Structure 1
Amino acid sequence: MSTLTILYIILAGIIALLLALFLYYYRPDSRQKLNILFIFLRFITIFSILLLIINPKFEHINFYSEKPKLIVAVDNSASIKNLNQDKNALNFVSTIYNSAEINKKFNVDYYTFGNSLKVSDSINFSENETNFDDVFNQLSQVYKNDIAPMLLITDGNQTIGNDYQYNATKYGQPIYPVILGDTTTYTDLSIQQLNVNKYAFLKNEFPVECIVAYNGDDNISTNFQVHSGKSLLYSQTINFTKSNNSKIINITLPANAVGVFSYKATIAPQENEKNKVNNTKSFAIEVIDQKTNIAIVSDFSHPDLGVFKKSIESNEQHTASILKPAEALGQTNDFQLFILYQPNNTFRKLLALLDTERKNKFIVIGPKTDLNFLNSVSQNYKHEITNQKEDYLVSLNTNYASFLVDDINFESFPPLQSNFGSISFSIPFETIIFKKLRNLVTDQPLLATFEFNGRREALLLGENIWQWRAQSFLNSESFEAFDDFFGKIIQYLSSNNKKSRLNLEYESFYNGTNGVNFKAEYFDKNFEFDARASLVIEVKDSILKEEKIFPFILKNNVYQVDMSSLPPSDYYFTVSNSKENISKSGNFKILEYNVEQQFLNANVTKLEQIATNSSGTPYFIANTSSVLKDLLNDNRYQSILKENKNTIPLIDWKYLLFLIAISLTIEWFLRKYNGLI
């Protein structure tokens, strides 16, 4: 407690005493003893009130010792078991857990990682992917204010995420890789990479590129083949030497029927190969009978046009061409959809022709749009003309019913520049994105769709959508999320199928069992999102004839189900609502592939590099005693003496209020009893 506070308390006592004396000491009555009691009670009252105002406090300081943390991150992927290192890893973790010296010096935190980082509860080496990037990203945030060296128990083989060799430095603390595996070189033939498009078009041929690698000292000859079911489609003899140890094989295969077709590429193994799993790789392709051609029409250049083309052509089923209005006039039969960018009077003939031919349209309205012209040719909507501009932020409509819209972090997107003023529709429409002005979400659409007389149309009321695609890349380090969102709009406008109360989103085939996810939206009869539906998916294995049922889980206004537990096979499915007679059926294929089975050795080079970059030391699993000894003897990891300062009130205000109430009550009662009131 400070000296000034003590002086305030003394001064409060003097003031309380003087006021009490002034009130009772000079009273003209002879009850001197009662006056002394009254002075005391009034002193208590006034002094307590003044203490409440001063609120004296004192600081309580206690010291404690904080041990450094030791992070034990264990690779829980299937490659550890494939390299026969699972027992070694578990034994080492058990050694750390039971080490009295380690637990005395460190607070040990255990994690496992594979597809993602998790607090360790069980280690079974069953995950089908290894994401080191997630480990360093998350732990760097959790332990940024602590001394926390990391024991990274892994084989160093990465399958997804950014390259950890350069990304591990963001952790900012020493990393001690404990290497599971060895550096022994084995003779091995493998299909390193297989590149093929997701879609092919009927009656065409599609290219397949396969990279085959050889690791060994002898000259060998082997055979590369591609099968579809029991049919041999391609065969080639390949020769390898120690120096000539890789081949790129380019072939083309026919697409003779519509549907999903699976293939298997195989390189014949040698007798002494240790890992023969990586000699085979399955792939699939979906054959479709048409390609959607889209025209992007504008009479001036703008970055948005390039973004439209890039996003559209990220889907192999779509092509896009940028045209002037006059060029598009003679080519309307070549395109299934027209994107009209900020139309003006030069679009008059084109708009009339598109209406006559009943073509679907996507119109972008911005500051350069001639609103007088647009209002004159549009029968379905009118835009207020104010000759003013405004920047509008984004608010996603989670009840949009025509197709599934994922929230790709729209709230982080920069504003679009638009015409100030409202737009009014004469027909029913649906809003995908509302205009948001600062923190106020308006009822005006920024992006909307509608259907009229069997045609579909979309309106985007703002320019500079190229900034959205750029921001989406900054958010996720990929254009995929934005391109998928834009692709759904294009897919909706390219089709004239009737609106459905049950919408599904899934892939025709999945590479491996990881990430077999379905999404669904369900709407009531008024096409408002129904969060009360009980959706299930019944899956039937067409080969084994086994049936399984999975329930959907509601998450962010989308029903989702994860079926990664299904083995590779061909499946038929039916999604239904148990409360209503509405269902949808289809089929999908899961290809047999496990990337974690492709490795023969630990990636020693990368693990040694991250140890060097982080001032740590690499160890092989056989040297576990060295690891613990070095950690115990490293002077960088010492307990830190910290102080904890607590400010505590001298007297609880509740007790002071109680004392004030008691003293006033006694004083009033005594005065009343003695006839002084």
Structure 2
Amino acid sequence: MQTQNIGLIIIAGIIALVIALFQYMYKAKNRTKRNLFFAFLRFLSVFALLVLLINPTFRKNTYYTEKPTLVVSVDNSSSIKHLNQDQQVSQFVNQIQTNKELKERFDIKYYSFSDDLKDTISLSFNQKQTNISKALDNLDQIYKNSNAPTILVTDGNQTYGRDYQFRSNAYKQQIYPVIAGDTIKVTDTKIQQLNVNRYAYLKNKFPVEVILTYSGTENINTRFEVKSGRNMIYSQPVSFSKENNSKVINFTLAASNAGVLQYNATLIPVDNEKNKVNNSKDFAVEVIDQKTNILLISDMTHPDLGTIKKSVESNERRSLTIIKPSEVKDIDEYQLIILYQPNARFRGVYEKIENVRKNRFTITGAKTDWAFLNKIQNKYRQEITRQTEYYLPRFNANYGTFLAENIGFEGYPPLIGTFGEINVDFSHDVLLERNVGNITTNEPMLVTIEDNGLREAVLLGEGIWRWRAQNYLDNKNFESFDDFFGKLIQYLASNKRKSRLNTISESFYYGNASIKIKAEYFTKNYEFDRRGSLNIVVKNKDRETSQTIPMLLKNNSYEADLSSLSSGNYDYTVIVTGENISRSGSFSILDYDVEQQLLNADVTKLRQVATNTEGKAYFMDQNSVLIRDLIEDQRYQAIQKSKENIVSLIDWKYLLAIIIFLLAVEWFMRKYNGLI
């Protein structure tokens, strides 16, 4: 018990004694044994009440034994089943689960992984992707402060993600890979990789690059073929040897028809080839008959111009031309006009735009002539101060004109704009708002305007080249920025009227990719409606089957994940419950299972992982050896630990009951003796 508590209890005892003696002995006219008994009762009740208020405590040490954790992480991807290792893996896990010595030595935790880590050992071996590196990342976070050796049951074949061999260098636990799969090299030919653009233009030719590989020792001759339906459209003989075991074939195909063109590439298997699945691959190209032409007009040179061109042309369906105001002649062939920091030299440009009614995208900055711009148009006005300011972007999550996502604008550098108040006089929707340092404002930075069928966007600030550079620093690519900018360009380059329900999907998907269809639903005032109940009806045109799937609200869109669908051609219809509104579309899923392209376990990488983490690699038939090594390893010892708790000396419930009992006895005794 704490010293302070003992002192308080002694003081409480003295106070209780003084009160009892004062009431029943000092003030009493006749001192009898009965007074002494009443004083004793009062002493106990007052003392108990004071102890209840003091709540004395003492330190209690609890000792317990903590066993090391044994993590068992099992590959649940379809490559395990394709390599005929599913039964052996299940038996291996069952032997771990039933081993009493391991249970006594370790606290065993089970996980399965494919594209993600799951805290379950329910194995189906039907997952389409494997990301071993991500599984190690998650386990490293879970057991970063523990002694937790890891058994990694896998074939070592990773389909995407960072190289797990190098990721294991930073893993804080010992890894014991258990290798599932055949390690004997057999004769195999396969299509290692096929590269093709997703889009092509009508009546043009698009390039295709194919990488073919061979595993074997003999000289062989075979043939590479490409078919469209039953029609052979390309064929080439191929020879391999032990030394010359790879070929790169480049050829072009004609984009003769608009729409989605599907092809099948096949490397004819040799005799007695074990794995023939990796000899064939489907691919597709969407042929479009029109290219979006965009004109950028600028009277200066600026890094933003190159950024805009690269971002716009990251999509092959768009092209951008940069000219000066004095060079503008015919703008009818362009779907969108971008005006960069307009000044008085743009007067003729504005007159041509008004005459042909073209959509435009205006970008302003430090050198914009606002006196001219305020006069030449009447949709927005900037206060003229002749001063500049740095403005930070802030994403507006309620923006509903088109589907946009926050790509991390809060961490982007500021843009340089004109200082002063900006007023937008027409119906508009703010996509980005601007902050000045830490001061939040309600003024727009990027706004879209629709007026009588014409669309316009205004970006109030120069320096978006820094945004694209920051996007690369954050993500090691430009994709998210280019996608955001591309959606803005797509909206501005289109003259299609706004609808209360829009759907977003691709024309085709590969079977190993995530298949998601999104929808935007608006109120009658064209504000994004989060209260809607949307369902998507998906129909397989080949099998004449259909299913209805609810769409889930995610940020500022509704989304349905259709990744579980098999390959084939599909129609879909998005329906709003309670409204007579629907939108339809179609897509195709190409048959491709990357897990079935693999023939052997990657023994080399798994052994290197074991070396990197001071573990050891085993094969499936070495279960007993692995268990013995884990039990005998002196690094994994149970540790006795102590835990100090502050515990109340007496439970307050018992003290309260004692106080009530003592006061009740005292009251009845006083009543019985006529003192009340």
TM-score (norm 1): 0.89
Q: Distance in 2 between matches of 1:417 and 1:658?
A: 74
1:106 corresponding residue in structure 2: 106
C-alpha offsets along residues 316-336 of structure 1, whole Å, 9 cap, x if unaligned?
A: 212334555545x34745543
After TM superposition, list the pairs within 5 Å mapping 1:589-604 onto structure 2: 589-604=588-603
Task: Give how far 1:85 is off.
Answer: 1.0
Task: Give how far 1:226 is off.
Answer: 1.1
1:276 corresponding residue in structure 2: 276
Moved more, 637-646 or 330-339: 330-339
Q: Which amino acid aligns with 1:444?
A: E
Q: Distance in 2 between matches of 1:301 and 1:624?
A: 69
Task: Give how far 1:479 is off.
Answer: 3.2
1:224 corresponding residue in structure 2: 224
Label 1:12 to 1:424 Cα distance change in 2 as closer, same or farther (>3 A): farther
Partner-residue secondary structure (3-state), 1:192: strand
1:425 corresponding residue in structure 2: 424
C-alpha offsets along residues 109-154 of structure 1, whole Å, 9 cap, x if unaligned?
A: 1111112111224211111111112201211111111111111111
2:443 corresponding residue in structure 1: 444
C-alpha offsets along residues 429-459 of structure 1, whole Å, 9 cap, x if unaligned?
A: 1122344678886543332211113221112
Partner-residue secondary structure (3-state), 1:572: strand
After TM superposition, list the pairs within 5 Å mapping 1:531-570 onto structure 2: 531-570=530-569
Q: Is the 8 A contact 2:292 2:335 kept in 1?
A: yes
1:374 corresponding residue in structure 2: 373
Q: Distance in 1 between matches of 2:670 and 2:389?
A: 77
Q: Distance in 1 between matches of 2:314 and 2:55?
A: 68
Indicate yes or no: 2:286 matched with 1:290: no
2:126 corresponding residue in structure 1: 126
2:640 corresponding residue in structure 1: 641
Label 1:162 to 1:17 Cα distance change in 2 as closer, same or farther (>3 A): same
1:62 corresponding residue in structure 2: 62
Q: Distance in 1 between matches of 2:336 and 2:673?
A: 100
Indicate yes or no: 2:114 matched with 1:97: no
Label 1:494 to 1:49 Cα distance change in 2 as closer, same or farther (>3 A): farther
After TM superposition, list the pairs within 5 Å mapping 1:642-657 onto structure 2: 642-650=641-649
Q: Distance in 1 between matches of 2:654 and 2:415?
A: 60
Q: Distance in 2 between matches of 1:251 and 1:382?
A: 55
Partner-residue secondary structure (3-state), 2:631: helix
Label 1:431 to 1:622 Cα distance change in 2 as closer, same or farther (>3 A): same
Q: Which amino acid aligns with 1:599?
A: L
After TM superposition, list the pairs within 5 Å mapping 1:143-542 onto structure 2: 143-300=143-300, 302-326=302-326, 329-330=328-329, 332-333=331-332, 335-385=334-384, 387=387, 389=389, 391-398=391-398, 400-410=399-409, 413=412, 419=418, 421-435=420-434, 443-470=442-469, 472-473=471-472, 476-512=475-511, 514-542=513-541
Q: Is the 8 A contact 2:45 2:663 kept in 1?
A: no
Q: Is the 8 A contact 1:200 1:285 kept in 2?
A: yes
Label 1:98 to 1:419 Cα distance change in 2 as closer, same or farther (>3 A): farther
Label 1:143 to 1:325 Cα distance change in 2 as closer, same or farther (>3 A): farther
C-alpha offsets along residues 186-219 of structure 1, whole Å, 9 cap, x if unaligned?
A: 1111111111111101111111111111222222
Q: Distance in 2 between matches of 1:265 and 1:452?
A: 50
Q: Is the 8 A contact 2:570 2:588 kept in 1?
A: yes
Identity of aligned residues (%): 50
Label 1:340 to 1:635 Cα distance change in 2 as closer, same or farther (>3 A): farther
Q: Is the 8 A contact 1:395 1:441 kept in 2?
A: no
Task: Give how far 1:630 is off.
Answer: 1.0
Q: Which amino acid aligns with 1:573?
A: Y
Q: Is the 8 A contact 1:211 1:248 kept in 2?
A: yes
Partner-residue secondary structure (3-state), 2:526: coil
Q: Which amino acid aligns with 1:633?
A: E
2:7 corresponding residue in structure 1: 7
C-alpha offsets along residues 529-557 of structure 1, whole Å, 9 cap, x if unaligned?
A: 33343323233333333333333233334
Q: Is the 8 A contact 1:25 1:39 kept in 2?
A: no
Q: Distance in 1 between matches of 2:255 and 2:346?
A: 40
Q: Distance in 2 between matches of 1:459 and 1:257?
A: 38
C-alpha offsets along residues 396-441 of structure 1, whole Å, 9 cap, x if unaligned?
A: 323x332222344555556555555543222111122344678886
When the two chains are superposed, the root-mean-square deviation of aligned CA atoms in Å is 3.5
Report how many residues are paired.
Answer: 673
Q: Distance in 1 between matches of 2:361 and 2:650?
A: 72
Task: Give how far 1:278 is off.
Answer: 1.1
Task: Give how far 1:562 is off.
Answer: 2.0
Q: Is the 8 A contact 2:206 2:255 kept in 1?
A: yes
Task: Give how far 1:523 is off.
Answer: 1.7
2:88 corresponding residue in structure 1: 88
Moved more, 155-164 or 524-533: 524-533
Q: Distance in 2 between matches of 1:123 and 1:349?
A: 69
**Structure 2 gap segments, 5+ residues each:** none
Q: Which amino acid aligns with 1:618?
A: A
Q: Distance in 2 between matches of 1:671 and 1:369?
A: 98
Q: Is the 8 A contact 2:428 2:448 kept in 1?
A: yes
C-alpha offsets along residues 202-254 of structure 1, whole Å, 9 cap, x if unaligned?
A: 11111111111122222222111111111111111122222112111111111
Q: Distance in 1 between matches of 2:573 and 2:319?
A: 32
Q: Which amino acid aligns with 1:198?
A: R
Label 1:492 to 1:95 Cα distance change in 2 as closer, same or farther (>3 A): same
1:625 corresponding residue in structure 2: 624
Q: Is the 8 A contact 1:286 1:508 kept in 2?
A: yes
Q: Distance in 2 between matches of 1:359 and 1:534?
A: 36
Partner-residue secondary structure (3-state), 1:209: strand
Q: Is the 8 A contact 2:79 2:595 kept in 1?
A: yes
Partner-residue secondary structure (3-state), 1:227: strand
Q: Distance in 2 between matches of 1:668 and 1:306?
A: 95
Q: Which amino acid aligns with 2:456?
A: E
C-alpha offsets along residues 23-65 of structure 1, whole Å, 9 cap, x if unaligned?
A: 99876x737679986898599669956974x664322221111
Label 1:496 to 1:174 Cα distance change in 2 as closer, same or farther (>3 A): same
Q: Distance in 2 between matches of 1:47 and 1:99?
A: 55
Q: Is the 8 A contact 1:75 1:113 kept in 2?
A: yes
Q: Is the 8 A contact 1:397 1:434 kept in 2?
A: no
Q: Distance in 1 between matches of 2:620 and 2:272?
A: 26
Q: Distance in 2 between matches of 1:634 and 1:8?
A: 53
Q: Is the 8 A contact 1:392 1:418 kept in 2?
A: no
Q: Is the 8 A contact 1:538 1:547 kept in 2?
A: yes
